[in-house]
Chains A and B, each alone.
Chain A
Amino acid sequence: MPVHRPADRVPLPPTTAEKFQTVCHYCIVGCGYHVYKWPEGQAGGLRPEENALGVDYTQPVAPLKAGWIAPAHHAVITERDGRRFNIAIVPDQECVVNKGHHSGRGGTLGSSLYRPDGPTNTRLTHPLVYRATDQVTTTWDDALDLTARVIYGSIQRDGNDSIFMKIFDHGGGGGGFENNWAVGKFFFDAVQTVNCSIHNRPAYNSEVHASRDMGVPELNFACVDAELTDTMVLWGCNSYETQTNLYLVHMLPNLQGATVKDKEAARPGELVGPGRIIVIDPRRTATVVVSEQAAGKDRVLHLQLKPGTDIALANALARIIYERKWHDSDFLANRVEAETVQPFLDQSLQIDKSLDEVLTETERITGLSRTQLEQAASWIAETKADGSRPRTMFFYEKGIIWGLKNYQNVGSIVNLALLTGNFGKPGTGCGRLGGHQEGYVRPGYPGPRPAPYIDDLLSQGQGNVFYVVGCNPAVTTLNAQRMRETLQTRGKLVRDALDANFAADNSTRAQAVLDAISRGGLFIIVQDIYPTQTANVAHVVFPAAAWGESPITSINGERRLRLYEQFMDPPGIAEPDWKIFGMLAQRIKALAQADGNAELTRRFSGFEWQTAEEVFLEGGESFAEGVKASTERYKGVDYAFLKAAGNNGIQTPVTIVNGKPQGRVRYFENGEPFYTDSGKAKMLPTSWPGFPAVLQAQIDKYPYFLTNGRNNNWQTFYNDLRIPFHAERAPMPFIEISPEDAQKEGLKPGDIVQLYNDYGEATAYTVVSTSVKPGVIFMLFAHPRSTANSLTTPYVDPEVIIPYYKGSAVGLRKLGRLEDLDARLTYYPTNFETVA
């Protein structure tokens, strides 16, 4: 049969199975799970008292009831000592986030576990060092020693800023408070370099600087608010595919009217009904199609704007609302800094022009009709029949964050939320929906804002050492083809030096590396769980522990802090990131001591952690006191508290009341001040900037506007390419092209095409879809087999150094077919709308 199917059975956990609490480590939603572990060869019985789930398997598990173990929830793992265990990872019905549901990501956690006899056996198990012509397995001592000597020598000779890094800053897998604290302490306190960047971008910055500058922490609402709101505005986010259980468990019931009673209880005396949704996206996504099917088209509005025109749209909606007097004048008067309102009216609303002039201009820029603009403004803000204000939530994610001009993109949406007073009540809020979970705790970043654009600096020959952890810039950074060229070209100078010194000791080899760096070389360190495209060009590779192989803590999109327990050994001799940084710092400290360097001895001290909880508690001490603590503040909480709190955890920021940790559901309730010096929020003047010159040049030269996005799969497919179910569904990236353009290009579904422009090229298979308008091509993001980011320009918002990943322009060339895919790959679009 062409399509992979798992076995026709799974063993049930016996009542003696060990049980762990954990949270799916992938997306921001953070669904709760239970992990059952029991020896291979044992199985529980069908009767509820005979299995650890307590489920009656003498009859089929009823639909929509948690308790069934899907084959992808299960694996047989092998521990370091060779003992083998069944593992079943089952969604937690008691967790208020997912209520027993799983997505296609969390539902395959079992399949993702390390198995030496399975497809995940490509995990990194031992340190690797480039010796002579190849990376070879070696000991921790050897790999750490060479690395420590190069870093120490580089700091001594060329200063702290000669060390560059690109490292995760998130929660969930490959992150968490423990690993983030270790990274921060190592690079900010010990190395003290400004040349840092975050996993998915070329600088050390926030993706939502604008929201924070306006006094609005970006994670200010709770999942339950999506059940209680009147109108959900999803702006540049495709939640059905990418925040699946936020959509299915919280938004969808609201659209279907199933939460009306909850609304009546939470909002007494107000006229409430089934919710409505506005999706703002240049694609007709699965979220649009599913919402229409579930709620009916009359409660779904899709604004299919021209890519990159979000600021113009947000400004026009605000102008209509202001003109119709649907804004919240009390809120503006009491909660917003008065002096920020007029610049907003002048620049964002263009109050000197007539409404007609503004709307005519907006129609031209966005491609949307006046009727659509009026309808959206009405759904967001028009007073209801009973005189009450509607409650509206504004959700945004990568379509905005990675859209044209990050700072004003985000600010223009926060403006709308402030204008309509949608903060501090059930069913309100404005923030990012998120990709990863969060878990940020670090000493202060020593660099400036805007931070240095380190991808640019690397390509210009700057930097001695490039330390990459838990990310894959060869695939995911902007203008990724340039990054690969930089890594290969500069990395080869160091490889040549190591080739020439294959028999030498580490002292000699480190000196040879430093000499090669003087000639333009770059020493590349990668710390990861798989041999990524970036790891392939590294000189040292450190094997890291993954989710479930070391305890971590993180928060989800509603700031729910939980303990993700360890339930299995890391593969080989892999270690958690915090421990690797601890070992490396101790080695550098030893070199400094031997050298009599008191300064570096001091900076690299304090890394002798023994347990993950030690790191967690040390990081927690760094949070400031007071009400205006950072979103992540967890000081006062320890692992025992979190273990007792289970998969519902506690919502940060945590304050200690009468000696007990206390969380919060949402921000700005009961007059809580905004996070500015005045305690009032700031409006931000936002003007649509038009396309930057580097992008306009591509648009003028190539026929198709290129945008990109995600599907059901997680990030760079690092696990998914090793999970048969996912791997065969996404063997390579796809493009979506309109039927009109497909006909013009002579393209059929499944045809292989090359996309190209002045910056790079990518190869993908064709999906013909009405999701995109003629003239626009969508490509799946971050697939390592061929990356859409080879086609992005080097343009970043100069205010915050955030790339415009979502916009480029390309030519297209048909390359024929990969005939074997026809029998085993569906070419239907992920929004389900088939094209005849």
Chain B
Amino acid sequence: MEDQGVTPPDGVAGTQQVRLGRRSFLKLGSLGGTAAVLAACSAPPAPPTVVPPTTAPAPTAPQVPTPVAAAEPVTAPLVSDVLPYPRLKIATLSDLQKGVFSTAYPDQFSPVQVLKLGAKTVGGVGPDEDIVAYSGLCTHMGCPVTYNPATRVFMCPCHYSHFDAATDAMLISGPATQHLPRVVLEVEGQDIYAVGVQGLIYGRPHNLSLTEL
């Protein structure tokens, strides 16, 4: 990756229409002088096949809806180490009647689970301040985690890392070395928007790397 200006793209090809921040330069912290290029690419990378271990129960694939473009481009915060996350509508309040809704953010290769915890939580959004969202990929070796709404626990079927959704997806125990990355949300009317990710999503060097090419 070289230092390059960011071209605000008018979309990422394929199923997504993404509006990006208007900054021209991004300093990527310890990446040192490099900048992420969020240019539109002609075609997204081929979706990886999620191969469960031959020995583990097959994880259920998350439902990946098509994210909807934000109404207006949103300027990313003017902080030098924040990636220019797209603002994407990822769910509506009515999607959460069962307590959990599967979607994807910031691109279709990153499954996300949106939860309505039923109790106010730090950083929770929505009328009850209880809606949160986390990356659906285990931070150990990338298997999709499953969610149990009764216990509010995420479990990885490959190596059994467990994460407590009610405590910000903290690892309960297991071989993972990062809590589940948290997707930052905003609510506008009935719509839930994703605006950023805290922590690194499994399988990439930075969270927007798949839109960089």
State A661–B16 Cα separation when bound (angstroms).
Answer: 59
B181 touches A (CB below 8 Å)? yes
A430-458 to B contact mask, C-beta < 8 Å, 1/0: 00000000000000000000000000000
Hey, which chain A residues are within 8 Å of B162, CB to CB? Answer: 828, 832
Q: Decide if B200 touches A6 in the complex (CB within 8 Å).
A: yes
Interface string of B102-133 (1 = CB under 8 A from A): 00000001100000000000110000000000
> Is there a chain A Cβ closer than 8 Å to B174's Cβ?
yes
A514 to B206, CA, bound (A): 60
B202 touches A72 (CB 8 A): no
Nearest B residue (CB) for A108: B177
Chain A residues with CB below 8 A from B77, complex form = none
A503 within 8 A of B: no
B10 interfacial by beta-carbon distance below 8 Å: no
Name the distance in Å between A312's Cβ and chain B's nearest Cβ. 31
| Interface check B14, CB cutoff 8 A | no
If A8-B207, A62-B49 touch, whether A252 touches B55 (CB-CB below 8 Å) is yes
Cα–Cα, bound, A257→B55 (Å): 7
Check: B155 CB closer than 8 A to any chain A CB.
yes
In contact, B48 and A46 (Cβ under 8 angstroms): no
- Contacting A828 at CB < 8 Å: which of B45, B110, B153? B153
Q: Does A10 contact B (CB under 8 A)?
A: yes
Size range of the chain A interface in the assembly: 35 or more
Contact with A along B185-213 (1 / 0, CB 8 A): 00000000000011111111111011011
A70 to B140, CA, bound (A): 8
Q: State which residues 51-88 of B face A: CB under 8 Å.
A: 51-56, 81, 83
A61 touches B175 (CB 8 A): no
Look across to chain B and name the residue whose beta carbon is closest to the beta carbon of A75: B30
Residues of B within 8 A of A1 (CB): 122-123, 168, 182, 198
A248 CB contacts on chain B under 8 angstroms: 159, 175
What's the dominant secondary structure at chain A's contact region? Answer: loop
- Is B164 interfacial (CB-CB < 8 Å)? yes
Known A-B contacts A9-B206, A43-B32; A824 and B168 likewise in contact (beta carbons under 8 Å): yes
Complex interface: stretch among A139-147, A286-294, A356-364: A286-294
B178 at the interface (CB under 8 A from A): yes
The reply to whether the CB of B31 lies closer than 8 angstroms to some CB of chain A is yes
Residue A133 interfacial (CB < 8 Å):
no
Nearest A residue to B174 via CB reads A104
Known A3-B169, A9-B28, A9-B205; judge A832-B153 contact (CB<8 A). yes
Decide: A7 and B30 in contact? CB cutoff 8 A: yes
By the criterion CB–CB under 8 Å, are B1 and A43 in contact?
A: yes
Q: Which residue of A lies closest to B32 (CB)?
A: A41
- Whole-angstrom CA separation of A2 from B54 in the bound complex: 36
- B25 in the interface, Cβ–Cβ < 8 Å? no
In the bound complex, do residue B207 and residue A9 qualify as a contact, i.e. CB atoms below 8 Å apart? Answer: yes
Interchain CB contact (< 8 A) of A834 among B55, B153, B182: B153
Q: Which residues of A contact B13 (CB under 8 A)?
A: none
How many angstroms from the CA of A73 to the CA of B30 in the assembled complex? 14
**Known A-B contacts A8-B197, A46-B1; A61 and B202 likewise in contact (beta carbons under 8 Å):** yes
A832 touches B155 (CB 8 A): yes
Interface hits, A2-17 → B, CB 8 Å = 2-12
Q: For the complex, give the distance between the alpha carbons of A57 and B211 in Å.
A: 11
Are A6 and B178 in contact, CB atoms less than 8 angstroms apart?
yes
Q: Which of A39-59 contact B (CB under 8 A)?
A: 40-43, 45-46, 57-59
Query: Which A residues between 55 and 98 are near B, CB-CB below 8 angstroms?
Result: 57-65, 68-74, 76, 86
B40 interface hit (Cβ, 8 Å)? no
Question: Is the CB of A564 closer than 8 A to any CB of chain B?
Answer: no
The one of A45, A86, A103, A725 in contact with B179, judged by C-beta atoms closer than 8 angstroms, is A725
Give Cα distance in the complex from A350 to B51, angstroms: 54
Smallest distance from the beta carbon of A168 to chain B beta carbons, Å?
Answer: 26
A469 CB, min distance to chain B CBs, angstroms: 29
B200 touches A57 (CB 8 A): no
B-side interface residues, number (CB < 8 Å): 72
Q: Do residues B142 and A244 form an inter-chain contact, with CB atoms below 8 A?
A: no
B31 to chain A: closest CB distance in Å? 5
Residues of B within 8 A of A627 (CB): none
Q: Which residues of the partner chain B approach A72 to less than 8 Å between Cβ atoms?
A: 177-178
| B14 CB → nearest A CB, Å | 13
Instruction: State the CA gap A290–B57 with chains docked (Å).
Output: 13
Q: A5 CA to B32 CA in the complex, in Å?
A: 20
Closest to A91 in B: B141
Determine the distance from Cα of A245 to Cα of B33 in the docked complex, in whole angstroms.
37
When the two chains form their complex, are residues B198 and A40 in contact, meaning their CB atoms are under 8 A apart? no
Cross-chain contact B53 with A290 (CB below 8 angstroms):
no
* Interface check A830, CB cutoff 8 A: yes
- Contact of A729 with B170 in the complex, beta carbons under 8 Å: yes
Q: Is the CB of A102 within 8 A of B203?
A: no
Binary per-residue interface labels of chain B (3-36) against chain A in the complex, 1 for a CB within 8 Å, 0 otherwise: 0000000000000000000000000111111100
Q: What separation, in Å, do the CA atoms of A27 and B171 have in the docked complex?
A: 20
Q: Which residues of A contact B203 (CB under 8 A)?
A: 60-63, 68
Binary interface encoding of chain A residues 107-131 relative to chain B, with 1 for a CB under 8 A from any of its CBs, else 0: 1100100000000000000000000
> At the interface, yes or no: A597 with Cβ under 8 Å from chain B?
no
CB-based contact A828/B164 at 8 Å: yes
Question: Which residues of A are found within 8 Å of B137, using beta-carbon distances?
Answer: 63
Q: Does A825 contact B (CB under 8 A)?
A: yes
Residue of A nearest to B53 (CB): A64
Query: Which residues in A have their C-beta under 8 angstroms from that of B49?
Result: 62
User: Which of B45, B55, B169 has the most chain A CB atoms closer than 10 A to its own CB?
Assistant: B55
Complex contact B179–A3 (CB within 8 A): yes
Q: What separation, in Å, do the CA atoms of A539 and B169 have in the docked complex?
A: 44
Q: Is A241 an interface residue (CB 8 A)?
A: yes
B176 near A: Cβ within 8 Å?
Answer: yes
Complexed CA–CA distance, A43 and B213 (Å): 16
Q: A9-B83, A729-B170 are in contact. Are A59 and B176 (CB under 8 A)?
A: no
B199 to A832, Cβ gap below 8 A? no
* CB pair B48 A7 closer than 8 Å: no
Which residue on A lies nearest to B175, using beta carbons?
A103
Contact A826 B164 (CB under 8 A): yes
Q: Which residues of B contact A290 (CB under 8 A)?
A: 160
Complex alpha-carbon distance, A716 and B116, angstroms? 38
- How far is B178's CA from A73's CA once the two chains are assembled, in angstroms? 10
What A residues does B29 contact at CB under 8 A?
7, 9
Report Cα–Cα, A6/B170, bound state, in Å.
13
Who on chain B is nearest to A712 by CB?
B173
CA distance A293 to B162 in the complex (A): 13
Rounded to whole angstroms, the CA-CA distance of A76 and B32 in the bound complex is 11
Partner of A107 from B50, B138, B177 at Cβ < 8 Å: B177
Report whether A62 and B51 are in contact in the complex, using a CB–CB cutoff of 8 Å.
yes
When chains A and B are docked, how far (Å) is the Cα of A4 from the Cα of B122? 13
Interface centre among B162, B177, B199 (most CB of A within 10 A): B177
Quick check: is B39 within 8 A (CB to CB) of the other chain? no
Say if the beta carbon of A673 comes within 8 Å of chain B.
Answer: no
B30 touches A76 (CB 8 A): yes
B175 touches A244 (CB 8 A): yes
* Contact indicator B168/A2 (Cβ below 8 Å): yes
Contact in complex: A8, B199 (CB < 8 Å): yes
| B129–chain A nearest beta-carbon distance, Å | 13
| Interface positions of A from 213 to 247, Cβ below 8 Å from B | 240-241, 244-245
List the 9 closest A-B pairs by CB distance, nearest first: A41-B32, A9-B206, A256-B55, A5-B199, A60-B203, A107-B177, A63-B142, A826-B164, A59-B45
Can you show 29 pairs from A to B with CB atoms below 8 A apart? A3-B168, A4-B179, A5-B178, A5-B198, A6-B199, A6-B200, A8-B206, A43-B31, A60-B45, A60-B109, A61-B202, A61-B203, A62-B203, A63-B137, A63-B138, A70-B178, A101-B175, A102-B175, A240-B160, A241-B173, A253-B55, A256-B56, A290-B160, A294-B55, A729-B170, A823-B122, A826-B164, A828-B153, A832-B162
A interface residues (Cβ-Cβ under 8 A, vs B): 1-12, 40-43, 45-46, 57-65, 68-74, 76, 86, 101-104, 107-108, 111, 240-241, 244-245, 248, 252-253, 256-258, 286, 290, 293-294, 711-712, 725, 728-729, 823-826, 828-832, 834
Contacts A6-B200, A63-B138, A64-B143 supplied; 11 other A-B pairs, CB < 8 Å: A1-B122, A9-B205, A46-B1, A58-B45, A62-B49, A63-B48, A108-B177, A244-B175, A725-B177, A823-B167, A831-B173
